[in-house]
Amino acid sequence: MDQENDSEIRRDYRTGFFSIIVPGRSKRPHELEEDKANENLAECPFEPQNILENLKIMHVGEPWKIMVIKNKFPELNGNTPLMERGGFFSSISGYGYNEIVIESPDHGAKFENMSIEQLNGWLDVLIEREQQLYLRKYIKYVQIFRNYGVDAGASIGHPHTQIMAWPIVIGNIKRRLRIAVDYKSKNNSCLYEDAVKKETARNLYSNSTFDAVAPFASRITAESLIIPKRHINSMIEMTQEEKTGLSDMLKRIVSVNKLLFGAQSYNILFYELKDQPDFHMHVEVLPRLSTLAGVELGQNVFVNTVVPEQYAAEFKSKLSGA
Ligand SMILES: [Zn+2]
Ligand SMILES: [Zn+2]
């Protein structure tokens, strides 16, 4: 353990929001652009021959089809002692875990071209790691996200998903939980189930287990919100049919967005919690067609120049071709 290099989750006295201060991140790999995705394979750390043995956690298949490794550049570290500091400069030490799920040994594999079986296998691995990480001491929240492309913050072009296990429930997930719990207590119904019923003008696509909508106050262009029809708190509770439903949803949304906007960076964000009965899990796909600027950073208010209803109409027009 190296105290000097440990990260720290610091609370901002101006806003109550948190930042993770991570020393030494300038050593991260350089970004690869989409059109260079098949270059520099010798340097790609996720190529089968390049994966360091001491980072490997688990894999599926021989030779592997999906590989889980420790993140070599973690924001949180399981060797950091858990410590909380109160007062004006309040913080919590950067205890936790960062894992990477490498989705294919093939550097050029595209999410939208993966089969439903492959995507279900990917979800199975995410769920298995999520369950394992929740068993670790002091872990309160396991976050899953997929960054694709330079504008979405992906520093490596090889297809992968990230898992981050936090010692504290803060930020967006905490806010969403509170709003869902308040809604339930006032309305005696579930916010996300009501959203699906009310968002019919902005429905994107529905299958037997999931609905997707372009939310009323979409923060960015072509934002989509994916909601399971059944009230579940996390992916851990999903049935096989629901896994297939979520795979189908994600594959379609990423495919249609590519038809609409061409190759683009995007984030897939999973919002799930364990043991929070009022929370209804959901997933977002956020194409990164514009950058955050003064209004967003200054006010934390997003400017979206495409009406969500228009995106929904365009999405539906391309759906049959995806
Ligand atoms: Zn690679
Ligand atoms: Zn619900």
How long is the chain? 322
Same domain, 265 and 135: no
Same domain, 69 and 190: no
Total domain count for the chain? Answer: 2
| CATH code, domain with 123 | 3.30.428.10
Same domain, 118 and 198: no
Proximal ligand: closest to the CA of 196:
2
The SS3 of residue 319 is helix
Give the CA radius of gyration of the chain: 20
Beta-carbon neighbours within 5 Å of ion ligand 1: 44, 46-47, 107, 158
Same domain, 144 and 180: no
Whole-model pTM: value is 0.94
Same domain, 8 and 144: yes
CA of 70 to the centre of ligand 1 (A): 16
Query: What is the longest distance spanned by two Cα atoms in the chain?
Result: 57
Same domain, 214 and 234: yes
Q: Each residue of 187-230: pLDDT tens digit?
A: 999 999 999 999 999 999 999 999 999 999 999 999 999 999 99
The single-letter code of the amino acid at 96 is G
Q: Which has the closest alpha carbon to 112: 258, 282, 226, 221?
A: 258
CA of 189 to the centre of ligand 2 (A): 8
Q: Each residue of 148-178: pLDDT tens digit?
A: 999 999 889 999 999 999 999 999 999 999 9
134, with CB counted inside 10 A (0-12, 13-18, 19+), is: middle
Kindly state the tokens that stand for 275. Answer: 């043991």
Proximal ligand: closest to the CA of 231:
2
Same domain, 47 and 82: yes
Q: What are phi and psi of 66, to 5 degrees?
A: -135, 135
Same domain, 102 and 13: yes
CA of 45 to the centre of ligand 2 (A): 40
Cα–Cα dist 67/102, whole Å: 5
Full residue range of the structural domain in which residue 191 is found: 172-319
CA of 185 to the centre of ligand 2 (A): 13
Q: How many helices (H) and strands (E) does the chain have?
A: 6, 14
